[in-house]
Amino acid sequence: MVGRVKLQSENSRICVLLGCGYTARAIAPSLRSDGFEVLGTTRNPDNFSEMAAKGVHPLLYQGKITDELRRILSRTTHIISSIPPSQSGDPFISSMQSQFGKNWSKLLPNIEWAGYLSATSVYGDRQGKWVFEEELLHPSTNRGKARVIAELDWVESGLPVHIFRIAGIYGPARSAFDRIRSGKAKAVIKKGHISNRIHVHDIATAIAASINAPAPHAIYNLADDDPCPPQDVLQFAATLLRERAVREVPFDEADLSDMARSFYREARRTSNARIKRDLDWYPQYPSYREGLVSILEGEENA
């Protein structure tokens, strides 16, 4: 456990990461380099040391807003939530509402910018067509429906929230390389299936761009420039590793979990045109090719 967090001066910029998982930990270094004091919540005290190593002050949050967390929130200027939603909505907002009532956002009087990390699953199946932020949402999976409810929770919170609908996230220690090395990789082939992805570093730069140009209630898709069949990513990764091609399995014959199978029920191409236009943001890794090459180079140079 950690003791009471000693915050810096009254004028310091303080960012709280609600849910300090893979993506949030990747965002933290850029926040610190921009002068933020960064704190993050976790349900598990075992994560404290790893968070501290990333320069994140750990805060325990197990569904109840503690006095310590409430004190921190009263000073917070920026907040980023990546906590997965429940079927009833956003867990953090549910906690705040149940403990402090419908006007809970008044407990965060210094908030200048808020970000909610959602997912492109809110769009549902578009049969491979392009999707844009202004379209009506038609989620077909339970997780997509939960994301829609959580987005609404944040929009109705009264905070200056920005919604980021994020494609499949990959990066160091979480890429096609890891699937191949595990010996469990298989290229599931479904005709016409298209998926989208984004390198975790590009999420961090997009967040920074939004913080520097606030536009409350803006919605941004976050995806790279190259939607493609998922088997293309696996086979390219195998080539880089100088491994034999990954075994291909027709979708109808693949032994998939219900969760994995649900990903193949939806096909869409996610447009990133708005964030490019509005924030002058461009992905450093415009496709999985550049992203995977960078990850492998990082491993070899470690």
C-alpha separations of 162 from 74, 79, 124, 263, 270 in Å: 20, 10, 21, 26, 18
* CA–CA dist 194, 227 (Å, integer): 6
The answer to whether the CB of 292 falls within 8 A of the CB of 238 is no
CA 33 to chain centre: 20
Q: Which amino acid is at 213?
A: A
Helix then strand then coil, in percent of the chain rounded to 5, is: 40, 20, 40
**What domains are there in the chain, each with its CATH number?**
14-171+197-224+270-285 (3.40.50.720)
Identify the H or E element spanning 85: none
The answer to whether the CB of 299 falls within 8 A of the CB of 176 is no
* CA–CA dist 3, 5 (Å, integer): 6
pLDDT value of position 17: 98
Q: Which amino acid is at 116?
A: Y
Q: From the CA atom positions of the chain, what is the Rg in Å?
A: 20
Tens-level pLDDT at each residue, the chain (302 residues) = 455 677 776 668 999 999 999 999 999 999 999 999 999 999 999 999 999 988 999 999 999 999 999 999 999 999 999 999 999 899 999 999 999 999 999 999 999 999 999 999 999 999 999 999 999 999 999 999 999 999 999 999 999 999 999 999 999 999 999 999 999 899 999 999 999 999 999 999 999 999 999 999 999 999 999 999 999 999 999 999 999 999 999 999 999 999 889 999 999 999 999 999 999 999 999 999 999 999 999 999 97
Please list, in sequence order, all residues whose beta carbon lies within 8 angstroms of the beta carbon of residue 271, skipping any fewer than 6 positions away. Answer: 130, 131, 132, 221, 223
pLDDT value of position 302: 78
Collapsing DSSP to helix, strand or coil, 242 comes out as: coil
Tokens representing 62 are 């197990």
